[in-house]
């Protein structure tokens, strides 16, 4: 059962081949057996999952059929889950049981999904390797010495290892797409404002966006349809009808104009990743797409601009973790200042502290214009670059990440090299555009991802491109050897 995609499982449940309860038990057992080697789950919600599965089976028997009825998934531990610990990869929230459900969680539940548990992640979503997690790194099932990417590393590892057919993630600078690439999955970051951020613990509010991680574009379409939509509780969530994403998957890309941004193919790019990307382009051309070069002239400024804006917002967003109302509080505080200093010094890990310091500095009086003000102007230029390129073509295509999964520990001492992992993904968040990563090859047994970027609210179009590609190739069907014995 665990080899099936979400779409196949839905068909199996519909056909009565197995029950939601059987499916859930199978996956719970698999998590129990295999996850100790991956560390992809930080919390398992077996009892809740069984209850949800039984409810789904009953609903199905009664003839009601919610879109995700009985389909299992895991939530990134950044989403608040009522009555379930929501730690966000941090010691700061190790003891935090959320008193409410995030809108994404609520919507998935309303659609009938079964929550298997909460997945590992970089602390407060700050990282590209899952190594900043207070719970230790999740491992890449393709090679457990390697990172699964980040920050939604636990979600990606769990889906790749077939512990769950799908998982939610969040993407602030590439945190869905890069792990999807490193684990051979399809992962989608929707347009900023397409999915509610209510209940999603904020990292950088103007960049954060939730989305699905699954094996295929078809599955992502199914999940996005359940996640997306207006939420009056999030002022930045757009009130606009949700497209029927599954219906958009015609597989027809005849005449689709694909732009290759020259800046996505720099000279120093790993040649094997460049080759895989070009091979994918040829495949899409074969199916009728028209390909041309385009330019995003300010792309090289996206990483510096991002590492001002995101930490600036984070420095303010994380101020609420002060040891006063919830979360970690230091032992025996001697004064208010001592309470603040030690609770935050002991509760946050070093990468989080680094970004809080950077962001605080960038917003300081006398530096604001030079850093934050300038970064915002760069952001406008980057957005304009994308607008111009997307006025010439329908979709932009390039590699998702500059390299495949790397060794655990290889980059932890060098934050700037780590930050460069997001060189192709960050600009998309700055522009607020939708983008997905799809599997497009293997290098030394490790997956390579290709990124497709669409215009605002054109998730259907990039999903259809990925679907067409997946009809023509079988990269999305490749599975790691991990767990094959189970």
Partner 1 sequence: MSWEAVIGLEVHVQLAADSKIFSGASTRFGSEPNSQASLVDLGMPGTLPVLNEKVLDMALLFGLAIDAEVTGHSVFARKNYFYPDLPKGYQTSQFDHPVVGKGHLRIVLDDGTEKTLGITRAHLEEDAGKSLHEGFGGMTGIDLNRAGTPLLEIVSEPDMRSGTEAVAYLKKLHSIVRYLGISDGNMAEGSMRCDANVSVRRSGETAFGHRTEIKNVNSFRFVDKAINHEIERQIDVLEDGGRIEQETRLYDADKNETRSMRTKEEADDYRYFPCPDLLPVRVTDDDLQRLRADMPELPDSKRARFVHDYELSAYDAHVLVAERAVAEYFEATVSAAGGEAKLSANWITSELLGMLNREELSIEHARITPQQLGTIIRRIQDGTISSKIAKQVFEAVWNDEGDPDTVIEQQGLKQMSDSGELEAIVEQVLADNAEQVEAYKAAEPKKRKKMFGFFVGQVMKATGGKANPQQANALIEQKLEQ
Q: Which residues are catalytic?
A: 76, 151, 175
* Contact (CB, 8 A) for 18 and 70: no
Element (H, E) at 134: none
Under DSSP, the state recorded for 125 is G
d(CA 298, CA 277): 22
Burial of 360 (0-12, 13-18, 19+ CB in 10 A): middle
Whole-number minimum distance, CB 235 to partner 1, in Å?
5
382 binds partner 1 (CB under 8 A): no
* Contact (CB, 8 A) for 342 and 333: yes
Site string for partner 1, 50-79 (x = CB under 8 A): -----------------------------x
d(CA 205, CA 188): 18
Whichever of 40 and 315 has its CB closer to partner 1, that residue is 315
In the set 201, 435, 450, 463, which binds partner 1 (CB under 8 A)? Answer: 201
Whole-number minimum distance, CB 226 to partner 1, in Å?
19
Span of 55-63, 95-103, 148-156, 250-258 interacting with partner 1 by CB under 8 A: 95-103
In the set 80, 382, 463, 468, which binds partner 1 (CB under 8 A)? Answer: 80
486 binds partner 1 (CB under 8 A): no
In the set 37, 282, 320, 377, which binds partner 1 (CB under 8 A)? Answer: 320
Span of 96-104, 286-294, 403-411, 454-462 interacting with partner 1 by CB under 8 A: 96-104
Residues counted in the chain? 486
Structural tokens at position 25: 């038990």
Applying the rule CB under 8 A, the residues between 411 and 450 that interact with partner 1 are none
Span of 45-53, 204-212, 346-354, 439-447 interacting with partner 1 by CB under 8 A: 204-212
397 binds partner 1 (CB under 8 A): no
In the set 15, 325, 332, 485, which binds partner 1 (CB under 8 A)? Answer: 325
d(CA 100, CA 104): 12
d(CA 326, CA 310): 24
In the set 236, 295, 471, 473, which binds partner 1 (CB under 8 A)? Answer: 236
* Among the listed residues 249, 262, 292, the one whose alpha carbon sits nearest the alpha carbon of residue 392: 292
Under DSSP, the state recorded for 239 is -
Span of 37-45, 94-102, 290-298, 447-455 interacting with partner 1 by CB under 8 A: 94-102
Span of 203-211, 380-388, 410-418, 443-451 interacting with partner 1 by CB under 8 A: 203-211
Whichever of 315 and 470 has its CB closer to partner 1, that residue is 315
Structural tokens at position 123: 């602390």
134 binds partner 1 (CB under 8 A): no
Q: Name residue, tokens 């073509």.
A: 393
Residue 189 φ/ψ, nearest 5 degrees = -100, 115
Q: 484 vs 28, 119, 145, CA distance in Å?
A: 16, 21, 18
d(CA 239, CA 193): 9
Binding site for partner 1 (CB under 8 A): 79-80, 86, 88, 93, 96, 98-100, 102, 197-202, 204-206, 232-236, 312-313, 315-316, 318-322, 324-326, 336, 340, 360, 363-365, 368, 372
């Amino acid at each position: 059962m665990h080899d099936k995609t979400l779409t196949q499982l839905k068909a199996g449940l519909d056909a009565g081949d197995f029950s939601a309860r059987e499916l859930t038990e199978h996956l719970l057992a698999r998590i129990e057996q295999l996850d100790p080697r991956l560390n992809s789950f930080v919390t398992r919600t077996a009892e809740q999952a069984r209850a949800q599965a039984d409810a789904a089976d009953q609903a199905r028997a009664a003839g009601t059929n919610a879109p995700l009825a009985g389909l299992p998934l895991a939530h990134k531990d950044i989403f608040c889950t009522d009555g379930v610990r929501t730690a966000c990869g941090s010691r700061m929230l190790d003891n935090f049981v959320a008193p409410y459900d995030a809108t994404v969680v609520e919507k998935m539940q309303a659609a009938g999904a079964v929550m298997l548990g909460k997945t590992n992640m970089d602390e407060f979503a700050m990282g590209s390797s899952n190594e900043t997690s207070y719970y230790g790194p999740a491992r890449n099932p393709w090679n457990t010495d390697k990172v699964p990417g980040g920050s939604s590393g636990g979600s990606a590892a769990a889906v790749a290892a077939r512990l769950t057919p799908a998982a939610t993630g969040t993407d602030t600078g590439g945190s869905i797409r890069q792990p999807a690439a490193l684990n051979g999955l399809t992962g989608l970051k929707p347009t900023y404002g397409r999915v509610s951020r209510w209940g999603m613990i904020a990292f950088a509010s103007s960049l954060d966006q939730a989305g699905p991680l699954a094996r295929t574009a078809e599955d992502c379409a199914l999940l996005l349809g359940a996640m997306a939509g207006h939420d009056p509780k999030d002022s930045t969530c757009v009130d606009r009808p949700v497209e029927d994403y599954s219906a958009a998957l015609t597989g027809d890309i005849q005449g689709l104009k694909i732009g290759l941004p020259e800046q996505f193919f720099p000279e120093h790019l790993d040649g094997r990743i460049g080759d895989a990307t070009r091979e994918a382009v040829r495949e899409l051309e074969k199916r009728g797409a028209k390909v041309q070069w385009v330019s995003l002239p300010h792309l090289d400024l996206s990483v510096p601009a991002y590492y001002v804006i995101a930490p600036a917002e984070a420095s303010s967003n994380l101020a609420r973790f002060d040891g006063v109302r919830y979360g970690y509080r230091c032992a025996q505080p001697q004064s208010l200042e001592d309470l603040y200093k030690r609770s935050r010094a002991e509760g946050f890990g070093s990468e989080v502290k680094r970004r809080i310091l950077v962001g605080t500095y960038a917003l300081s009086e006398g530096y604001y214009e030079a850093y934050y003000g300038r970064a915002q102007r760069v952001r406008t230029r980057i957005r304009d670059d994308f607008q111009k390129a997307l006025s010439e073509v329908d979709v932009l295509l390039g590699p998702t990440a500059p390299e495949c999964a790397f060794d655990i520990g290889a980059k932890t001492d060098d934050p700037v090299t780590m930050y460069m992992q997001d060189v192709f993904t960050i600009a998309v968040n700055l522009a607020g555009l939708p983008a997905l990563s799809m599997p497009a090859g293997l290098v030394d047994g490790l997956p390579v991802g290709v990124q497709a970027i669409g215009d605002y609210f054109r998730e259907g179009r990039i999903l259809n491109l990925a679907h067409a590609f997946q009809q023509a190739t079988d990269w999305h069907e490749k599975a790691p050897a991990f767990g094959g014995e189970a």
